[in-house]
Each structure stands twice: as C-alpha cells, then as structure tokens.
Amino acid sequence: MSYNGRLLADARAELERIRQENEKEHSLREQLAYSKVEQLGLLDARLRSQMTELVRVTVARRPDMMQRIREIEEENLELQARRAEMLTEAGFPMDYLDDIYSCEKCHDSGVFEGKPCSCLQKIYNRLLTAELSPIMLDGNEDFANFDLSFYPAEYDFTLSASPRDVMRLVLDRCRSFAEDFPKDVPNLLLRGGTGLGKTYLSACIAKVVAEKGYSVCYDSAAFAFEAFEKQKFSRDPEESERSAAKVSRMLDCDLMILDDLGTEMVTSLTVSALYTLINTRLISRRPIIISTNCSNEELAKKYSPQICSRILGEFKILPFCGSDIRLLKKSR
Ligand SMILES: Nc1ncnc2c1ncn2[C@@H]1O[C@H](COP(=O)(O)OP(=O)(O)OP(=O)(O)O)[C@@H](O)[C@H]1O
Ligand SMILES: [Mg+2]
Ligand SMILES: [Zn+2]
C-alpha cells in the first residue's frame, strides 16, 4: 500500500491529538488520586527516584552494581504492591494510574515493527473515505454490490446484445481499470441516460483506487468549472485561494472524476476550463473519468472541436444502457 502524503500527515496529526488527549486524561487521574490518597503522591515520587537511581547505578558500574540493582528491584516490587493496595482501598481500579494508550500495539506512536501501525492505517482510511463522501451516494458503492439484474436480459436489436450483456462488459472494464490503476489505464468516458449507474460505477472505481493509496478527486462539471472561474474572478481573496487549491488538485491528483459533463451552463470560460483540465492531464498522463448524458454530436455542439477530438481520440467510451434504475428501485 502506498500513501497520499497530505492525508498521511493529517492521519499522523490526528493520532498525535489522541495521544495528547490520553496524556491529559492520565494527568487528571493522577490529580484526583493524589488528592484522595495523600501517601500516593509521595510513593510515586519515590518510584521515580528509584528509576533515576537505577540508571545511575548502571552507568557507574561499581563492583556492587548487581547487588544494588537487586535491592532496588526488591524495593520496587514492595512499593508497587503497596501502591496497588492504596489504590484499591481508595476505590480505584488497580491500573487506574497506568499510562493510557488507545493502541496497545504501538502505544499511539503510529509505528509498529518499523511500519505504519494498523491504528494509523485505520485513521488514514477513514480520512480517505471522508474525502470521497461527495461521490458515495449511500456508501454502499462497491463492485460486489453492483446489481446486473437491473438491466434487461432481453436482446435489443439497436445494441445487437442485451443491455445486461453490455453492462456486464462495462462493469468488467471498470473493474479492470480500478485493479490495473495506474498502469496502462485508459481515460474513460461513461456515457448514457439518466439513472443508469455512471456515478455509481465511478464511485466503485474511486474507492478501490483510493484504497490503494492514490489521490482521487471527484466533482461534477458544474462545480469543477466554478472553481476555475472563481480562482480567476473571485473578489474574495480567500475564496480565490481556495478555488486555486482545488483547481491544482484537479489537475494534479492521480485520478480525476468529472461527473455530469454537459449539464452545466456552457460559456467560453467553462469550455476553456474543460480544455485545460483534459489537456493538462493528457500531457502528464494522469487518467480522467468523465461521465455524460451527451452524444458525440451534442458534445461537438457544446464544446470546441479541439476538445471533442481529444475526447473521441483519447478516451475509451463505455456505453451505459437499460432503464432508469432510480425508478426501478422505487417500484421494486
Ligand atoms: N448496477 C446497480 N446496482 C445497484 N444500484 C444501482 C446500480 N446502478 C445504479 N444504481 C443506483 O441507481 C441510482 C442511479 O444511479 P447513478 O446515480 O449512478 O446514475 P447516473 O448514470 O449517474 O445518472 P445521472 O446521469 O442522472 O447522473 C443510484 O441510487 C444508484 O445507487
Ligand atoms: Mg450521475
Ligand atoms: Zn497503533
């Protein structure tokens, strides 16, 4: 598994927050216990000075070193027992003053056996999925849950196949895209009518690719182009900075998903934004997935010839067919 640096840094910061919380809780417990059991504070101070003593004895290496170490150990056991007694007598659990760790494996350091600990990975994965939440319609999007039975099995003469067979191929293509990513994957154009599963399959791909540790950026065309516009024209410096950051993420991320192309208001500005997005990513060989309801003719009418020739020449087109699954789900 490889990691997205920015998200990994965020995950580390979160783990650090957890560590500090635990430390705070620990010192609160100490305050409470010490105020309830007066002797306990003294005893803990004695335990700490024993540790210093142990270090001193070991470093000094005098002839009676072993003897001294044994003595300290004995006294230590005695003090520990005494301490446990004090705690339980005052009604505290025996481990009440132990260090608190959310992860016993790495003691909240995030590193276990020289590798990122599973607790850090868990936080990282949560951040990844949170980042993809706008594309996750109900969070269940997964290749395994993609239901082919929504697509008619009857032969369709215009398709020369049944919609289900066509969609089985589309599903296969999307699955291999996600599995092979980033090696030799084509750009994809998911095309078809409303409610046929284009956004759904984009989300399935996004999930797999993100879980492999690649950065995925998702947006509908309308919002994506709005960011291009705002970075240029917003009068609010904060907004234009935010938009500029978003634009550079769309240009640089490992996988860009541009949803619903053709539903936005087309202006010369959106056309130039689309050109920049496609062209920049083609040049740097970073894949892009576009979904649209538009036919080639409609694309040609809305956007420039340069854009259409790039889409037709550089994208693998996947035709979605069948009937609106939003409606089918309602009637089922
Ligand atoms: N194969 C499938 N199995 C299960 N649910 C599906 C499948 N395809 C689509 N859905 C569900 O049907 C609804 C519509 O799918 P989706 O949003 O992906 O359509 P779309 O092709 O993106 O439509 P639009 O062009 O309107 O954006 C969603 O609720 C989605 O979860
Ligand atoms: Mg959609
Ligand atoms: Zn851990």
Question: To test ligand 1's pocket by mutation, which of 151, 169, 196, 292 has the most ligand atoms within 8 angstroms of CB?
Answer: 196
Question: To test ligand 1's pocket by mutation, which of 164, 190, 325, 331 has the most ligand atoms within 8 angstroms of CB?
Answer: 325
User: Tens-of-pLDDT digits for all 332 residues of the chain?
Assistant: 567 778 889 999 999 999 999 999 999 999 999 999 989 999 999 999 999 999 999 999 899 999 999 999 999 999 999 999 999 999 999 899 999 999 999 999 999 999 999 999 888 877 877 777 777 767 788 999 999 999 999 999 999 999 999 999 999 999 999 999 999 999 999 999 999 999 999 999 998 998 887 888 899 999 999 999 999 999 999 999 989 989 998 998 899 999 999 999 999 999 999 999 999 999 999 999 999 999 999 999 999 888 999 999 999 999 999 999 999 988 87
What's residue 126's pLDDT? Answer: 77
- CATH 3.40.50.300 domain position(s) in the chain: 133-331
Which residues approach ligand 1 with their CB closer than 6 A?
A: 137, 146-147, 150, 194-200, 260, 293, 325-326, 329
How far away, in angstroms, is 326 Cα from ligand 1 center? 7
What's the N-to-C CA distance of the chain in angstroms?
40
171 CA closest ligand 1 atom index: 1
How far apart are the C-alpha atoms of 187 and 295, rounded to whole Å? 17
How far away, in angstroms, is 244 Cα from ligand 3 center? 36
Question: To test ligand 1's pocket by mutation, which of 326, 327, 330 has the most ligand atoms within 8 angstroms of CB?
Answer: 326
133-331: CATH topology is Rossmann fold (3.40.50)
State if pTM tops 0.85. Answer: no
Beta strands in 104-180 (DSSP E): 111-112, 115-116
Residues listed for the chain: 332
Q: Which residues contact 219 (CB under 8 A, 6 or more apart)?
A: 134, 227, 250, 257, 258, 259
What's residue 165's pLDDT? Answer: 97
What's residue 2's pLDDT? Answer: 64
How far away, in angstroms, is 159 Cα from ligand 3 center? 53
In the numeric block, which tokens belong to residue 51? Answer: 């540790």
